[in-house]
């Protein structure tokens, strides 16, 4: 178990806390149990690896104050909105026999032994953390979900996770899903054989050529009919003019 040293804070003003932060310390408060609350400060470097871990708010560690050690559990942490540096931590004493409710991260193992994932399936994670009620001295670091043998369509439920005695999920009455192995998100269509593609191109070329020939023939036929009608109209006009000329000519006197 990780051991962290802390120092009691005598001054609790904003300026005093800011001075602590500049010197590399994080102001904190320790509460819970029968002992009074204590205002303390912790070296930021000593907490760096714990704070950066996903299980920080469910990680029990040992806190040492003036030579006295006690188990504590982080319950809240505040960050600077600009620098994103931790500026305050709430710590709760872990009292033996007491129960706590907290979220535990889920870890997935044996991805390489999943037939579904090998065939292109996708691990769809429904819950990355699960809220548990457990004894303060039996808080698990993480919950392990084994993917070995899982195929496409498999639902991984809370019943498949091994929990210690007296450790129970806060969701009761149903076997809820933690993750599923879903089908591939993209399905590729099979490529057409090369022979079919070549035949399609040949048929298309012959059809186009035939259509083009028929179009030209039709245009030529329409042109000839138009010329014939034009000639007939010209002949009819000439005959009408000749007849009119004959009617206007005066008869000779006898």
Q: Across the chain, which distance is largest between two alpha carbons, in Å?
A: 165
pLDDT digits 0-9 by tens, 11-34: 888 999 999 999 999 999 999 888
Question: What is the pLDDT at residue 58?
Answer: 85
Q: How many residues does the chain have?
A: 254
pLDDT digits 0-9 by tens, 94-113: 888 888 899 999 999 999 99
Question: What is the pLDDT at residue 99?
Answer: 87
Secondary structure, 3-state, the chain: CCEEEEEECCCCCHHHHHHHHHCCEEEEEEECCCCCCEEEEEEHHHHHHHHHCCCHHHCCEEEEECCEEEEEEEEEEEECCCCCCEEEEEEEECCCCCEEEEEEEEEEECHHHCHHHHCCCEEEECCCEEEEEEEHHHCCCCEEEECCCCCCCCEEEHHHCCCCCCCEECCCCCCCEEEEEECCCCCCCCCCCHHHHHHHHHHHHHHHHHHHHHHHHHHHHHHHHHHHHHHHHHHHHHHHHHHHHHHHCCCCCC
- Tell whether the model's pLDDT for residue 181 goes beyond 60: yes
Mean pLDDT throughout 172-179?
94
Residue percentage of the chain with pLDDT more than 90: 49
> What domains appear along the chain, each with residue ranges and CATH number?
3-93 (2.40.240.10), 100-182 (2.170.120.20)
- Tell whether the model's pLDDT for residue 247 goes beyond 50: no
Higher pLDDT, 94 or 247: 94
- pTM for the whole thing? 0.61
Mean pLDDT throughout 125-134?
94
pLDDT category at 250 given cuts 50, 70, 90 is very low
Q: For the ranges 1-5, 133-137, 143-147, 192-196, which has the lowest average pLDDT?
A: 192-196
Q: Distance between CA atoms of 26 and 37, rounded to whole angstroms?
A: 17
pLDDT digits 0-9 by tens, 185-232: 765 566 666 655 555 545 544 444 444 445 444 454 555 554 555 455
Question: What is the pLDDT at residue 242?
Answer: 46
């Amino acid at each position: 178990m990780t051991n962290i040293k802390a120092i009691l804070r005598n001054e609790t003003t904003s300026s005093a806390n800011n001075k602590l932060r500049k010197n590399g310390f994080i102001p904190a408060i320790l509460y819970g149990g029968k002992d009074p609350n204590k205002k303390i400060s912790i070296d930021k470097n000593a907490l760096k690896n714990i704070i950066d871990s996903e299980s920080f708010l469910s990680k029990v560690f040992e806190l040492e104050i003036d030579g006295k050690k006690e188990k504590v559990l982080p319950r809240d942490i505040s960050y600077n909105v600009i620098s994103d540096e931790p500026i305050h931590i709430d710590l709760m004493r872990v009292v033996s026999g007491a129960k706590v409710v907290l979220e535990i991260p889920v870890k997935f193992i044996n991805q390489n032994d999943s037939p579904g994932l090998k065939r292109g399936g996708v691990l769809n994670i429904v819950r990355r953390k699960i809220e548990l009620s457990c004894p303060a001295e039996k808080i698990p670091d993480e919950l392990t979900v084994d993917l070995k043998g899982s195929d496409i369509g498999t639902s991984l439920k809370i019943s498949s996770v091994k929990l210690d005695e007296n450790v129970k999920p806060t969701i009761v009455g149903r076997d809820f899903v933690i993750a599923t192995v879903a089908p591939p998100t993209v399905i590729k269509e099979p490529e057409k054989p090369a022979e079919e593609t070549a035949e399609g191109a040949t048929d298309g070329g012959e059809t186009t050529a035939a259509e083009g020939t028929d179009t030209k023939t039709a245009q030529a036929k329409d042109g000839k009919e138009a010329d014939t009608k034009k000639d007939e109209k010209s002949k009819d006009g000439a005959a009408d003019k000749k007849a009119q000329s004959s009617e206007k000519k005066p008869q000779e006197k006898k």
